[in-house]
């Protein structure tokens, strides 16, 4: 991939897509194609095909997806499986039809079985039942992985998938009903501090362990892989993470420290915990020569600064 290469970033306004844009611009890539959802709805096959026929991108970063936390995934199950299946199928198929040289599909660590051994290795895919609360989203992402692999085998394409761990960073979703745990905690802690509350309640027992990757680090890993490797070296999928985790309770304390909330953290054990532990094995990625650079306290500080800038007056 060269600076003059035509690169399509699908989902450029989201957490991952916006980070990819920042990384591409920093790397000297200027021939970048984007479309908002209003300009191009990726669940429409004819519209997607016409877009590819007109623009002819050489490289595709497929970061577009319908995403959300436990509550959103469990409540809008049909929306999550339908929209994500259609986005993946339409973009991957159009990329093959119109001669895309390389495609990177963004998956999620929730593709792995709920009770798979830890840390999660790439070969654990499809070795057991999924976490029920986000199964529809995970199934759609697994379909995208397998679709890339199938097109590679049948048509000789160079499409591969990356599986990031839990992400956070600039441009995140802070809505308490649809956000993931870390941005939700940032907002909860900030609002509790502003009100002078003495406690903040978090979902579950606080014991599940999670790994968190700063979005700009993910973007750097994606461009690193696109510039140097392809499906032949990477295979069906490769994990992207930091290789370290912590409990949700410890995460809440860390967010509270960054935000400046000094009250008590109350655990609501009537709410679901989700998967007991989820940490990625990043041995393969490290062997290829990439490691994450942003530690969690520094990343949370940057994310909180972004929250303050985007929620002025909150």
* Average pLDDT over every residue of 4-11: 97
Question: How many Å apart are CA 55 and CA 70, to the nearest integer?
Answer: 37
Annotated binding residue at 15?
Answer: yes
Q: Give the model confidence (pLDDT) of 26-83 as tens digits.
A: 999 999 999 999 999 999 999 999 999 999 999 999 999 998 877 888 899 999 999 9
246-247: strand order across its sheet? 246-247, 209-210, 277-278
The pLDDT assigned to 313 comes to 58
- Phi/psi class of residue 100: alpha, beta or left (left: φ > 0; alpha: ψ in -120 to 50)? beta
Per DSSP bridges, beta strands 166-168 and 212-214 are parallel
Residues 64 and 90 occupy one common structural domain? yes
* DSSP assigned state of 33: E
- The pLDDT score that the predictor gives to residue 312 is 61
Asked if 42 and 150 sit in the same domain, the reply is yes
| Helix/strand/coil for 240 | strand
Task: Grade residue 281 by pLDDT with cuts at 50, 70 and 90.
Answer: very high
- CB of 70 within 8 A of CB of 80? no
Domain membership of residue 175 (yes or no) is no
Q: How far is CA 208 from CA 22, 181, 277, 304, in A?
A: 32, 12, 5, 23
SS3 assignment, position 267 = strand
Q: Are residues 189 and 53 in the same domain?
A: no
Among candidate residues 137, 151, 168, 174, the one labeled active-site is: 137
Does 273 show up as a binding residue in the annotation? yes
Q: Could you report the per-residue pLDDT of 199-243, keeping only the tens digit for each? A: 999 989 999 999 999 999 999 999 999 999 999 999 999 999 999
Q: Which residues pair with 181 in a beta bridge?
A: none
At 314, the pLDDT band (50, 70, 90 cuts) reads low
Known active-site residue 137: yes
Residue 98 is labelled as binding a ligand: no
- Residue 204, annotated as binding a ligand: no
Are 39 and 92 found together in one domain? yes
Tell me the pTM.
0.94
**Residues 125 and 186 both lie in one domain:** no
The answer to the question of whether 256 is labelled as a binding residue is no
pLDDT band at 177; cut points 50, 70, 90 = confident
Q: What is the pLDDT of residue 176?
A: 80
Is residue 124 located within the same domain as residue 233?
yes
Q: Are 173 and 115 in contact (CB under 8 A)?
A: no
Those residues whose C-beta lies under 8 Å from the C-beta of residue 18, and which sit 6 or more positions away, are 12, 170, 171, 215
> pLDDT value at position 275?
75
Residue 126 shares a structural domain with residue 195: no
CB 187, CB 172: distance < 8 Å: no
- Its domain, for residue 37, covers 7-170+212-243+279-294
- The arithmetic mean of pLDDT across residues 163-182, rounded, is 89
pLDDT value, residue 175:
86
């Amino acid at each position: 991939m060269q600076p003059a290469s035509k690169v399509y970033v699908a989902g450029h306004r989201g957490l991952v897509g916006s980070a990819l844009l920042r990384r591409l611009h920093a790397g000297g890539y200027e021939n970048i194609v984007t479309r908002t959802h209003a300009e191009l709805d990726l669940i429409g096959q004819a519209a997607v095909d016409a877009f590819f026929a007109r623009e002819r991108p050489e490289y595709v970063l497929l970061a577009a997806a319908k995403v959300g936390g436990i509550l959103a995934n469990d409540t809008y199950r049909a929306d999550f499986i339908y929209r994500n299946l259609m986005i993946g199928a339409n973009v991957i198929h159009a990329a093959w039809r119109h001669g895309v040289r390389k495609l990177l599909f963004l998956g999620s660590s929730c593709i792995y079985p709920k009770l798979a051994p830890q840390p999660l290795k790439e070969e654990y895919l499809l070795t057991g039942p999924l976490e029920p609360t986000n199964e529809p989203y995970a199934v759609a992402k697994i379909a995208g992985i397998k679709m890339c692999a199938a097109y590679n085998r049948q048509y000789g394409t160079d499409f591969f998938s990356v599986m990031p761990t839990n992400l956070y960073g600039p441009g995140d979703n802070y809505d308490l009903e649809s956000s993931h745990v870390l941005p939700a905690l940032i907002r909860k802690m900030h609002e509790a501090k502003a009100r002078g509350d003495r406690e903040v309640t978090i979902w579950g027992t606080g014991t599940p362990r999670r790994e968190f990757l700063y979005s700009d680090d993910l973007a750097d890993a994606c461009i690193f892989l696109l510039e140097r490797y392809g499906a032949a070296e990477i295979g069906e999928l490769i994990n992207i993470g930091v290789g370290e985790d912590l409990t949700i309770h410890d995460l809440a304390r860390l967010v509270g420290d960054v935000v400046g909330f000094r009250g008590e953290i109350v655990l609501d054990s009537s709410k679901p915990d989700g998967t007991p532990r989820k940490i990625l094995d990043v041995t393969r990625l490290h062997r290829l020569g990439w490691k994450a650079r942003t530690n969690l306290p520094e990343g949370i500080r940057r994310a909180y600064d972004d929250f303050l800038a985007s929620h002025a007056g909150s």
